[in-house]
Structure 1
Amino acid sequence: MNNIPKVKIGIVAVSRDCFPESLSVNRRKALVDAYKAKYDEADIYECPVCIVESEIHMVQALEDVKAAGCNALVVYLGNFGPEISETLLAKHFDGPKMFVAAAEESGDNLIQGRGDAYCGMLNASYNLALRNIKAYIPEYPVGTAEECADMIHEFVPIARAIVGLSDLKIISFGPRPLNFLACNAPIKQLYNLGVEIEENSELDLFEAFKKHEGDPRIAEVAADMAKELGDGNKKPEILPKLAQYELTLLDWIEEHRGYRKYVAIAGKCWPAFQTQFGFVPCYVNSRLTGRGIPVSCEVDIYGCLSEFIGTCVSDDIVTLLDINNTVPYDLYNEDIKDKYDYSSTDVFMGFHCGNTSSKKLSFCQMKYQLIMARSLPEEVTQGTLEGDIAPGDITFFRLQSTADNILRAYVANGEVLPVATRSFGAIGIFAIPEMKRFYRHVLIEGNFPHHGAVVFGHYGKALYEVFKYIGVDVKEIGYNQPAGVRYPTENPFA
């Protein structure tokens, strides 16, 4: 994953000048030691310059963490803390911030050893609001060194997504296909999030593709594709064209990323793509996504954005799927009922033509695209990757701008069941508790399009915090509410 940021967290301890500074010094050291002992893979920096008690200390600490290359900040209340200086520190740090506070340590040391950070966190949160400063505050932000270390570890994927968004460029090709207005949305919110977008014509892409004819690298890329596909390489004759297209996209990224570090692509794939290019781009899209460069289908810009956020949060491969079709009752009764604790309306099939990485499929074949082949010659529909999605935990989610330019999101933890789909495409049987009600009162009521991003694992907690941090109103973040908890739009008499 070389298309997402590395997070380096600077930890700065603060102290109210009427409290013993040693409380913050010793507690900061204990916190850093606990973190390194438990999470040695993360890059963490302990600011040694000072304990922040004043605005001058704040400036000194800020310069120190910047010089150390920190792109995320933890403000640690070792005791009550100076509410003005600590919030100014957060204000002037350019990157994601977190506030966390020390719990008291011993009932035998509650005179000189009492820090009152439990109280100080309240003042810190109030001052953050006064100054309109965004900061991540854990569900319960007060703890021992070990507990605070765990909280900081949970902050890492959140910080990675925030940093990534601030340096992301989305490259799109062409308008949405006809009858895909659901994938169209105002781009104003991209700029509000700090994301750049470069919109291109698919004719520009076609011209670049033609210029890559005879590229000496094609043979090597085609061989790599053949190695990845193995026995699933059912259309070997199309590999050189797919390799040519992959090189076109990779070169376009390097030539057009500009000053941005990270890139994602919202690509065109029909209706004219296959007749002009002579193939479908699904397999190439899957390969780039497998390298941490998300590529969405049907010029779904916010789907692409969602995929990138999922890549940052999970540090893993993601996919974009249609929330596609119900599971037939006979299949449910034969393979799911009495074997898994899900009703027939908790399960559905997530599908797309073939954009899911081979690393996230139980098996795969690269062949022709059945839906397109119903109305086009089969030879121009080759290049899709088919297979059942690997079973395991997933999170289905999406960030979307509404037609009236409001950010809206949803998050739902679930799983892919180890049940054969008996169908085609990159597809899996997904199970989300209370999906029936979630489908009606979040997806339909919220006017979400049919595309949803998928991360492989349960990342709902981190994604929810990312959406809050970037400014999505909590009333606009939908989730699958448990049975007995009514949605605002749910008919109480139903």
Structure 2
Amino acid sequence: MSGKASVAERRIGILPLARATFDVAFAEQKLAAMLAALDAAGLQVTGTRHLLFDADATRIAIEGLRGQEITDLLVLQVTFTDAAMVVEAANAFDVPLALWSVPEPRLGGRLRLNAFCGLNLAAHALGLAGREFGYLHAAPDAAGTEAALVELLSGRRVSRDVEPRSATSDDPRGVAAAEAIRGARIARVGHYPDGFPTCAYDAGRIGELAGVRVDELDLGELFARAGSVDAAQLADVRGAAENVLTGLDAVDQQQLERSLRLKPAIEALRREGNYDAFAIRCWPETFTEYGGAVCGPVSMMGEARVPCACEADVYGALSALLLQKVADAPAFLTDLVDIDPRDDTGVVWHCGQAPVSMADPEAPPQATIHTNRRLPLLFEFPLKPGRVTFFRISQARGRTVAVIGGGEMLKRPMAFTGTSGVVRFDTPARDLLDRIMGAALEHHLALAYGDHRDALGAAAKCFGIPVLDL
């Protein structure tokens, strides 16, 4: 980006993106601090200075920037959003593009913003589109943020692609696992959400990879099956939940029953279709149309070694299935929701669906409700300390690679409600951020306890795909 005007001379158009299902008041505080940091850095900023919650409002803001002769576009990722509007904004302007997300305190309460996950989703979509972008994940009031903003808008924080390496391992566990999932059957129940290219799949490519067959089922079929669950089945699943959870009586019992019915419904689909794994559209319809969360049943299915990926993520389901085979233990499909270079840690989280065997033995699992949608059943506990492995068969930047990483789950207080854990990755946190953004990876990674990197490398070799090391 040589030859550009100085940062102070540039005219930066901003788009502050947010979603109303998160903590709006907190997001407004963060936006005010972000705007103050931009002003304090001496940057010329134009555009909307309030949160944009939906596509219509964002499109109006984009139109407003068209006549401003902006030299740069800066997306303020204040909360989680899908990637649709970031891509639309990127296509609207032929100027350098940058993304800025903000961390939030790890206080054990709800995930109030989930902004990093929005950054991750946007980066993946831009990588698929071949669009260069800069990125920053930093608190607006942290020391050094003003200088980092100047670097960001000077083109010195641009994503750099990561070159995968050839898979060389011959670990027999990986070879056996690769053979075990050849011909696997996955049920995709419902379509992945709009703006989630991270969860898209190509039937031909996934079939060529490992002979995997994907059947596309309607979400309404799952709901209908749940409605036909009889009293004996419901009693069995309630009893199973009571064996591992406290607090079931504290949630709404009618909503709890609806949630619990989803587990025998998934099991019935599994038996009839001989499915090895599921990719289920979990929101918003399970909440808005059905009236109960699928998260708790997904946790129970995962413990029974039937991976169920949320957001209809087919490659996520396949990744969890392979990792489960290698580890001979349950796998958990998780989001990476924070990276803190100062602490050299990250936080992995999902709303409440980790297999219960992953719970810290000193923190008994509890029944809870979804923090945004306010319905049960979710499992809540911090992940136990120990060695962990991360894995995903990725389609980032339009190529198939095996993403493999490792780390140590630390003995820390629960970072956020649901199921979460604080990880010290093998790669320093700052470098990990650069690798995730550079490779433009998906926002879901499968996690299992133990060190299985060599075995996963051998499985990748069997499939003829390279390895991208986290």
Map Cα deviations across residues 189-248 of structure 1 (whole Å, 9 max, x no partner): 210111111111212222222232x34321122112112214576427244323321111
Q: Which whole-Å deviations, capped at 9, do the CAs of 1:246-277 have from their partners, x for residues lacking one? A: 111101111112xxxx5100011101211222
Q: Specify every segment of 5 or more residues in structure 1 that has no aligned partner in the other structure, as ranges.
A: 1-135, 140-153, 328-342, 373-377, 481-494
Deviations 1:450-488 (A, max 9, x none): 111101011111111111211103xxx2114xxxxxxxx
Work out the CA distance in 2 between the residues paired with 1:353 and 1:273: 14
Is residue 397 from structure 1 mapped to residue 391 from structure 2 by the alignment?
Answer: yes
Q: Which residue, 168, 180, 200 being the options, matches 1:184? A: 200
Deviations 1:161-196 (A, max 9, x none): 122221310111111113322222323221011111
Residues 332-368 of structure 1: per-residue CA shift (max 9 Å, x gap) = xxxxxxxxxxx63631110100110111112321111
CA distance in 2, matches of 1:277, 1:248: 13
Q: Tell me, in whole angstroms, the C-alpha distance in 1 between the residues paired with 2:256 and 2:293.
A: 11
Q: Deviation per CA, 1:268-315, whole angstroms, max 9, x where unpaired? A: 110121122211111100100001100111111111111001100000
Does residue 322 of structure 1 match 2:335?
Answer: yes
The equivalent of 2:270 in structure 1 is 253
SS of alignment partner, residue 385 of structure 1: strand
- Are residue 203 (structure 1) and residue 220 (structure 2) matched? yes
Moved over 4 A (4+): 136-139
Q: Which residue of 1 aligns with 2:102?
A: none
Structure 1 residues 127-146: aligned runs within 5 Å: none
Q: 2:409 aligns with which of 416, 423, 428?
A: 416
Query: Quick one: higher RCO (CA 8 Å, sep 6+), 1 or 2?
Result: 2
Give the AA of the match of 1:170. I
CA distance in 2 between counterparts of 1:233 and 1:444 reads 43
Q: Matches of 2:249 and 2:357 in 1, distance apart?
A: 15
Partner of 2:377, secondary structure, is strand
The one of 444, 447, 457 aligned to 1:454:
447
Task: Give the aligned residue type for 2:201.
Answer: A
Task: Give distance in 1, aligned partners of 2:249 and 2:332.
Answer: 21
Q: Determine if the alignment matches structure 1 residue 388 to structure 2 residue 386.
A: no
- In angstroms, what is the RMSD of aligned CA positions? 2.2
CA distance in structure 1 between the partners assigned to 2:199 and 2:308 by the alignment? 14
Q: 1:444 aligned to 2:437?
A: yes
Residue type at the aligned position of 1:365: Q
SS of the equivalent of 1:453 reads: strand
From 294, 300, 310, give the equivalent of 2:307.
Answer: 294
CA contact (8 A) 2:352 2:419 kept: yes
Greater Rg, structure 1 or structure 2?
A: 1
Alignment correspondent of 1:265: 278
Partner of 2:342: 344
Q: Is the 8 A contact 1:233 1:365 kept in 2?
A: no
Number of residue-to-residue matches in the alignment: 299
In structure 2, what is the equivalent of residue 219 of structure 1?
A: 235
Match of 1:336 in 2: none
**216-225 or 167-176, which moves further after superposition?**
216-225
Is 2:469 the counterpart of 1:479?
Answer: yes
Q: Please tell me the residue identity of whatever aligns with 2:372.
A: I
Structure 2 CA distance for aligned equivalents of residues 198 and 442 of structure 1: 33
1: distance between equivalents of 2:343 and 2:411?
A: 17
What is the DSSP-based 3-state SS (H/G/I as helix, E as strand, rest coil) of the residue aligned with 1:287? helix
Q: Is the 8 A contact 2:389 2:451 kept in 1?
A: yes
Tell me which residue corresponds to 2:318. 305
Q: What secondary structure is seen at the aligned counterpart in 2 of 1:396?
A: strand
Percent identity, aligned pairs only?
A: 22
Equivalent of 1:163 in 162, 170, 179 = 179
Residue among 355, 359, 362 paired with 1:361: 359
TM-score (norm 2): 0.60
Q: Structure 2: which 5+ residue stretches go unaligned?
A: 1-166
Q: What code does the residue aligned with 2:449 have?
A: F
Counterpart residue number, 1:194: 211
Which amino acid letter does the alignment assign opposite residue 358 of structure 2? Answer: K
Native 8 Å contact 1:369 1:382 kept in 2: yes
Give me the whole-angstrom Cα distance separating, in 2, the residues matched to 1:436 and 1:138. 26
- The answer to whether the 8 Å contact 1:397/1:452 transfers is yes
Aligned residue type for 1:204? E
- Secondary structure of 1:217's counterpart equals helix
Q: Which piece of structure 1 moves more, 424-433 or 437-446? A: 437-446
Contact 1:438 1:479 in 2 (8 A): no
